[in-house]
Structure 1
Amino acid sequence: MATNPQQHWNPDRYQTQHSFVWQYGADVLQLLAPQAGEHILDLGCGTGQLTQAIAQTGATVTGIDADAAMVTTAQQQYPHLAFQVADARSFTVAQPLDSIFSNATLHWVKPPEQAVQAIAQALKPGGKFVAEFGGNGNVQNIVGAVETVRQRQHLSPWYFPSIGEYTQLLEQNGLEVTFAALIDRPTPLNERENGLANWLKMFGGSLLAGLDRAATEDVLRQVANRLRPHMYDGTQWHADYRRLRVVAQKLGA
């Protein structure tokens, strides 16, 4: 899922405390509409739950992820499927694909141009690209609170494009966009009172980089105090997610 060198993944925590990541992705599969016999790539497969869901339609699917621990866990859970460690910016395929699916991955990938080029090269003419990832304004309140507390700017490691920015990038690489939407989706975080802190520890490594344990806990406390009035309902935190959802088709005969 990640190509950010400061981000380290814990597959067990990902599947338990942060299972909403792949659970929300199940909705995006409806846009993919996989068919039996198709060859599909799950780009940023994580621990493989959505790869398995695609396989259950009868499609032939391979999952790739940049994180070896994620791929190992996916392979252990779904030994009948194919998983590989590969970078979204430079992956290649043995034969052109019918579809490429990606959930909650591409906001980690910089520069985005390299990923789009790899995607376009891997698809057959008429092949489909379906993705959902963080869009413009995603977790803006959380990032802003951390930057305020740390008195530092530009800490975000992510790429959160607008619809116009990303569709232009796809079109420049021979992919015709047939659907695009920017969706506000306040997302409940697990672990009740600890939900925001656990989210930052799991996904916000770059936001907390350079801090020792005591300083990290102090920043987390201050950030929670700032965000609590409008992001904590008394029992659960809700992250200010905005998701960009796109469907595109590779041009050609």
Structure 2
Amino acid sequence: MKWDAATYDTHHEFVSKYGENLLDLLPQNSRQNILDLGCGTGTLTKQLAQYGTVLGGDGSSQMIQQAKKNHPEIDFQVMDALALPFDNDWNIIFSNAVFHWISDHETLLAQIYQSLTPKGILICEFGAAGNIQIIEESFQQAIQEAGYDYCSKFTFPKTEIFKQQLVAQGFSIEMIDDYDRPTPLSDGKAGLAIWGRQFFEAELAELLEHEQAIIIQRFTELAKACWQQDHWVADYRRLRVVAHK
């Protein structure tokens, strides 16, 4: 997926905002080193720097470029979460709103386990089963009505499945929980259209502009259950994990 880092910063700041309370789960130890896996434009990476030595990593060069511009005092690197170049290096691997973009959770967890120090900690949150169900089903219907196929690129696991994957990899689970997190979108009536153009960018990119406009309009009509008075509320569900190596 091609990320528009500027749009992400200005219209989807809720992603990092809702991830802030994950920081409360970090140990208080200034000597620990922390990998922010899937750091985006670096908003939470900046805050993580208060908890130790931090490196921000993301698979998107656009996001890393923006992160370096936003926070030049912090180290950022482009990296593939399924091929991490580390071996027992990190006390904590932190990740917010990333794992649902990765289909191979077995390989992901194996890479994280290898990268953590003995007794290292994985702290993460991402989309749970049922996340954006109304939004995604509405987009699917809209694009199919226009004569195109839709195949979801998201992986929103059931809690029990992800728990089994953690245990199979060797993790000891301190906490694993899923919960509803209705998320207000900014930009009023345009909010869901802006969200859709960012997160369904790959599906829309192959279409002509007028086709995109028709699909987005139909998409917002079908997702009307997410409209509340004067703004859109995305039907988010999250899975939160603290697990030890």
Of 94, 99, 103, 1:101 maps to: 94
In structure 2, relative to structure 1, the CA distance for the partners of 1:76 and 1:238 (3 Å cut) is same
**What one-letter code is carried by the residue in structure 1 that aligns with 2:191?**
G
Of 99, 114, 125, 2:118 maps to: 125
**What one-letter code is carried by the residue in structure 2 that aligns with 1:37?**
R
- Asked if 1 retains the 8 angstrom alpha-carbon contact of 2:42 and 2:56, the reply is yes
Q: In the alignment, is residue 55 of structure 1 matched against residue 49 of structure 2?
A: yes
**What one-letter code is carried by the residue in structure 2 that aligns with 1:20?**
F
Q: Provide the C-alpha distance between the structure 2 equivalents of 1:165 and 1:153, rounded to a whole number of angstroms.
A: 28
Alpha-carbon deviations, 1:44-98, whole Å to 9, x = none?
A: 00111111101123x0110100001111111122222111000111112265211
Of 19, 32, 43, 1:38 maps to: 32
**Aligned pairs, how many?**
242
Q: Provide the C-alpha distance between the structure 2 equivalents of 1:166 and 1:89, rounded to a whole number of angstroms.
A: 17
Q: Which moved more, 1:148-157 or 1:189-198?
A: 148-157
Report the equivalent of 2:11.
Answer: 17
Of 214, 228, 243, 2:238 maps to: 243
Q: Provide the C-alpha distance between the structure 1 equivalents of 2:114 and 2:48, rounded to a whole number of angstroms.
A: 22
Q: Please, what TM-score do these two structures have when normalized by structure 2? A: 0.94
After the TM superposition, which residues 215-226 of structure 1 pair with which residues of structure 2 at under 5 Å, given as runs?
A: 215-226=211-222
- 1:93 aligns to what SS in structure 2? coil
- 1:56 aligns to what SS in structure 2? helix
Report the equivalent of 1:3.
Answer: none
Q: Provide the C-alpha distance between the structure 1 equivalents of 2:110 and 2:87, rounded to a whole number of angstroms.
A: 16
Q: Which moved more, 1:133-142 or 1:208-217?
A: 208-217
Alpha-carbon deviations, 1:130-186, whole Å to 9, x = none?
A: 000111011111111122222366521111001111111111111111101111011
- Asked if 2 retains the 8 angstrom alpha-carbon contact of 1:55 and 1:61, the reply is yes
Report the equivalent of 2:209.
Answer: 213
- 1:63 aligns to what SS in structure 2? strand
**What one-letter code is carried by the residue in structure 2 that aligns with 1:124?**
T
Structure 2 unmatched ranges of 5 or more: none
Structure having the higher helix fraction is 2
Report the equivalent of 1:232.
Answer: 227
Q: Provide the C-alpha distance between the structure 1 equivalents of 2:150 and 2:109, rounded to a whole number of angstroms.
A: 24
Report the equivalent of 1:163.
Answer: 159
- Asked if 2 retains the 8 angstrom alpha-carbon contact of 1:155 and 1:207, the reply is no
- Asked if 1 retains the 8 angstrom alpha-carbon contact of 2:88 and 2:114, the reply is no
Q: Provide the C-alpha distance between the structure 2 equivalents of 1:52 and 1:34, rounded to a whole number of angstroms.
A: 16
Q: Provide the C-alpha distance between the structure 1 equivalents of 2:47 and 2:132, rounded to a whole number of angstroms.
A: 28
Report the equivalent of 2:175.
Answer: 179
Q: Sequence identity, in percent?
A: 37
Structure 1 unmatched ranges of 5 or more: 1-6
Alpha-carbon deviations, 1:215-240, whole Å to 9, x = none?
A: 11111111111222x21113100111
In structure 2, relative to structure 1, the CA distance for the partners of 1:221 and 1:212 (3 Å cut) is same
**What one-letter code is carried by the residue in structure 2 that aligns with 1:186?**
P
